[in-house]
Chain A
Amino acid sequence: MTGVNDDVPGGRELLRVEGVTKSFPGVRALDGVDLSLRTGEVHVLLGENGAGKSTLIKMLSGAHRPDEGRILADCGADGGTNGAPGSGAQGLREVHIRSAQDAERLGIATIYQEFNLVPGLTVAENIFLGRQPRTALGLVDRKTMRARAAELLRRVRLDVSPSTPVSELGIARLQMVEIAKALSLEARVLIMDEPTAVLTSDEVETLFGIVRELRADGVGIIFITHHLDEIGALGDRVTVLRDGRSVDEVPASTDEEELIRLMVGRDISEQYPRTRPDAPGAPLLRVRGLTRHGVRSSKGSPARPAFEGIDFEVRAGEVVGLAGLVGAGRTEVARAIFGVDRYDAGTVEVGGTELARGDVRAAMRAGLGLVPEDRKGQGLVLDASLQDNLTLARLDRDTRRGLVDRGGQRREAAAVAGQLKVRMSGLGQSARTLSGGNQQKIVIGKWLLAETRLLILDEPTRGIDVGAKVEIYQLINELTAAGCAVLMISSDLPEILGMSDRVLVMAQGRLAGELPAAEATQDAVMELAVRSPKGAAPPDAGHTPSTNKNHPGQSAMEGSDD
């Protein structure tokens, strides 16, 4: 794509950030950052985990206020008057964005990195939260609300009813609801913080289509992503942040290596540094005929997809990739193996001994560990300290004669945080205030401290910058070199291909096939992933056809991520 908008005369400046600085206790998150946004442009914010991207956009959405510097906005026709007349370019005025309402008045809508939906409410209620259409009597006009929500859902190609409670949706669909909500604001500035981190390629295409439409309509878009390939495909300009400073502003056509260099400050030699073992060791994990029948939720659609007849083994020193479309049941299998959920038939053996069903502690004792895909909901105690989070899985090991060895915990936590290069102000910092990538490192660090022999990673690099990704891959190498094994679920196909010694592909709750590293290509994996399993019907075929109108190969099948 061309970065022509850079020079388009009609591209009026919409928003400008000048010299913004923001400190939190112990960290200077932003240090004199500049940014400008024009109409009809997609401006990509790029930077490592913790570089300050989310903090910057929170200044624009009213969640944080800058310590220093100013924000100028084109107040447009509605001419909001909260601010002194700016001295800068014509049309731009200094504004003070103190709340989400202020941002909304300026026409700024934000999709945050973390979801802001109310689980108990329906999709329609969430989209119009606080702005519900009213009837003449002042009551909520449900009919209009549902109709407008349905239209927005069609626009984001999300096949759910507006009256579905959002608690029944998986992560990818939640993200699409967030996008629909932002669209409903009809903003002139749309900010998206890593919207694609949890989406599959089909959904990403839909999102890109929407973004391109908005751009054509003159909306200014700030887009944060860690996927470098998306920059060329969608962006116009890129602002690179490093350690809270804006290092450079370059056109989106800049090549990836240059972008990485700007972002990390050094070259990254190899993106997937997998060193494969000559011969894998003894089998560590053996799964036989693992089966769970579908569970249906109140609304008739399966709340959790089922799986059937899952057979595989993982050997010491191996990285086994588990590929498949969202909804194929990969997460479910991982959770069943780790004892989080029960299963109906089959066995899980570790080192020759069978694990009890539905018993996380037994799985841990056998040396299993699970990094869940939803790190905030399942991986972290957000308001607890990093030390408490890191040592949580070895709490009983740190307990001697009834007392927890806090000093020992501090030493262990400090060691692993250092090993993983976690960017933090101290071990007492709460996990909530860490940037996304560093949060993931904490979850992984927890399992390193628990002396895990077989680590199950579910979407381990979601929302992680290129530099940190390589660090995680290197960690995987170290683990396998030490005789441990890794089972890696990922929707990032290049990652699966680059890191796995063997690739298992799941489709509709079954293992569709297995490919050795040499034969695993993008096409081979995709072919298996979209193939409907031969012979028998899918295990959850019991429900009515009306709720199962999804095409088998479509990625928007039942979200696995509940």
Chain B
Amino acid sequence: MTELLKTPGETPPTTAQGRAFGPWCTRAVLKNGPLGGLIALVVVMAVLSQDFLNGQNLLNVGVQASVTAILAFGVTFVIVSAGIDLSVGSVAALSATVVAWAATGEGLPVWIAVLLGLAVGAAAGLVSGALVAYGKLPAFIATLAMLSIGRGLALVISGGSPIPFPASVSSLGDTLGGWLPVPVLVMIAMGLVAALILARTYSGRAMFAIGGNEEAARLSGIHVKRRKLVIYALSGLFAAVAGIVLAARLTSAQPQAASGYELDAIAAVVIGGASLSGGSGKASGTLIGALILAVLRNGLNLLSVSAFWQQVATGLVIALAVLLDTLRRRSAR
């Protein structure tokens, strides 16, 4: 290390650096899990691109991560309880469309329109939850159905074309004081709420029990079906918030917005260390997962890597992250 520090900065000895960097990176990732991975990725991007580590760009990364992260917080609840929610992208678009339709189309007061949008999100989640808990449908199927229904309803309500968002809600997509993007603030706030729900509420603790062993949870007096309603409703509610933030950034509700985002959200949760078989997961991990995806995309953009290769890289990172996480867990046994 000391030798490295002594070498003049203008001519970085790339080979030596590469050699030292590899094992350091692996160790950091193995030891700290997702956070180590994020730091390693940031370091790599900073080395590869001069433009990466500047304040404005980092805030951009935050904005890019915000919608995925908010969706992913909601999905974390579902995944911790050993379910899956494929509908969050559609529900986000539906909620945003409802807000725009109510405020712009029907002329309702903005706050009522927003409440209506949030209620629609939660209701969509409730329906998925009811299908899973009472209809005994596999979560995959129930939320796949909701994915289609949500998107369809968004198209029906909007007639297929974007509806302008009310100006006061659109300010959610702006910055505070000219530099601090509101979406980042919303992301942080929703992250804190998610962390609080997971760690400290009855529903949160029940999520871990249900995901870990549903039968044991039931035999310990947890009303599993009712909890599932709450879990999917929370996921829908978070999706509605994400949808409103996205529409605010675009200043219009687009019925086709956020399609495919559910996969990013699930990826963020899994990269963040949650297990798809349930019983584990953290809001902080999910945030890191969303940031990893955003850093990767932003960095690759700066390096002008084509969008096609970006998809390949994202896939590789997902696989790598989960692989490392499995290794880490095994070595901890």
Contacts and interface: CB of A to CB of B under 8 A. Distances in A.
A377 B218 CA distance: 12
Contact of B209 (A340, A384, A399, A403): A384
Interface stretch (A66-74, A387-395, A498-506, A516-524): A387-395
A360 B208 CA distance: 19
Contacts of A450: 221
Interface stretch (B44-52, B137-145, B197-205): B197-205
A404 B279 contact: no
Interface string A362-397: 001000001010000111111110001000110110
Q: How large is the interface on B (under 10, 10 to 19, 20 to 34, 35 or more residues)?
A: 20 to 34
A340 B218 CA distance: 8
B200 A446 contact: no
A491 B208 CA distance: 33
A340 B208 CA distance: 20
Given A381-B279, A396-B202, A364 B221 contact: yes
Interface in B187-230: 199-202, 204-206, 208-209, 212-213, 215-223
A457 B292 CA distance: 49
Nearest to A371: B219
B205 A388 contact: yes
Given A388-B205, A403-B200, A383 B219 contact: no
B200 A382 contact: no
Contact of A395 (B205, B215, B332): B205
Given A370-B219, A392-B217, A402 B201 contact: yes
Contacts of A361: 221, 223
A340 B219 contact: yes
Contacts of A388: 205, 208-209
A393 B216 contact: no
B202 A395 contact: yes
A399 B204 CA distance: 11
A372 B213 CA distance: 14
Given A378-B219, A383-B279, A399 B201 contact: yes
A154 interface: no
Contact of A393 (B204, B213, B220): B220
B252 interface: no
A338 B221 CA distance: 10
A360 B219 CA distance: 7
Instruction: Provide the main secondary structure of the chain B interface.
Output: helix
A396 B209 CA distance: 13
B204 to A, nearest CB: 8
B280 interface: yes
A360 B218 contact: yes
A379 B217 CA distance: 8
Nearest to B332: A25
Nearest to B206: A395
A261 interface: no
Interface string A121-147: 000000000000000000000000000
Nearest to A378: B215
B202 A399 contact: yes
A377 B202 contact: no
B219 A404 contact: no
B209 A392 contact: yes
Contacts of B218: 340, 360
Interface string A529-561: 000000000000000000000000000000000
A404 B212 CA distance: 19
Given A384-B279, A406-B200, A379 B219 contact: yes
Contacts of A360: 218-219, 221
Given A378-B215, A381-B212, A402-B201, A395 B222 contact: yes
Interface residues of A, number: 28
B276 to A, nearest CB: 13
A48 B201 CA distance: 38
A381 B217 contact: yes
> Quick one: which of B206, B213, B218, B279 has the most chain A CB within 10 A?
B213
A378 B212 CA distance: 11
Interface in A324-346: 338, 340
Interface in B223-252: 223
Given A377-B215, A381-B213, A404-B201, A392 B222 contact: yes
Contact of B216 (A25, A379, A395, A403): A379
Contacts of B223: 361
> Quick one: which of A380, A395, A399 has the most chain B CB within 10 A?
A395
A382 B212 contact: yes
A383 B200 contact: no
Nearest to B277: A383
Contacts of B200: 403-404, 406
A381 B201 contact: no
Interface in B267-288: 279-280
Contacts of A372: 219
A392 B223 CA distance: 12
Nearest to B214: A381
A393 B220 CA distance: 5
Interface in B61-78: none
Nearest to A406: B200
A382 B202 contact: no
> Quick one: which of B219, B222, B280 has the most chain A CB within 10 A?
B219
B209 A381 contact: yes
B6 to A, nearest CB: 39
Interface string A447-481: 00010000000000000000000000000000000
A25 B332 CA distance: 8
Contacts of A338: 219
A450 B219 CA distance: 12
B209 to A, nearest CB: 5
Contacts of B215: 377-378
B216 A380 contact: yes
A15 to B, nearest CB: 25
A334 to B, nearest CB: 11
A382 B221 contact: no
A392 B216 CA distance: 9
Nearest to A393: B220
A321 to B, nearest CB: 22
A393 B280 CA distance: 19
Contacts of A402: 201-202
Nearest to A447: B220
Nearest to B212: A381
> Quick one: which of A338, A381, A393, A450 has the most chain B CB within 10 A?
A381
Interface in A74-93: none
> Quick one: which of A340, A370, A384, A446 has the most chain B CB within 10 A?
A384
B22 to A, nearest CB: 26
A384 B208 contact: yes
B77 to A, nearest CB: 15
A218 to B, nearest CB: 36
Nearest to A25: B332
A135 to B, nearest CB: 35
B79 to A, nearest CB: 14
B205 A381 contact: no
A404 B216 contact: no
B205 A382 contact: no
B227 to A, nearest CB: 11
Contacts of A446: 220
Contacts of A403: 200-201
Given A377-B216, A384-B212, A392-B217, 8 more contacts: A340-B219, A364-B221, A377-B213, A381-B216, A383-B279, A384-B208, A395-B206, A399-B202
6 tightest A-B contacts by CB?
A381-B212, A392-B220, A393-B220, A364-B221, A381-B213, A399-B202
14 contacts: A338-B219, A361-B223, A364-B221, A370-B219, A378-B216, A380-B213, A381-B217, A383-B279, A392-B220, A392-B222, A393-B220, A393-B221, A395-B202, A404-B202
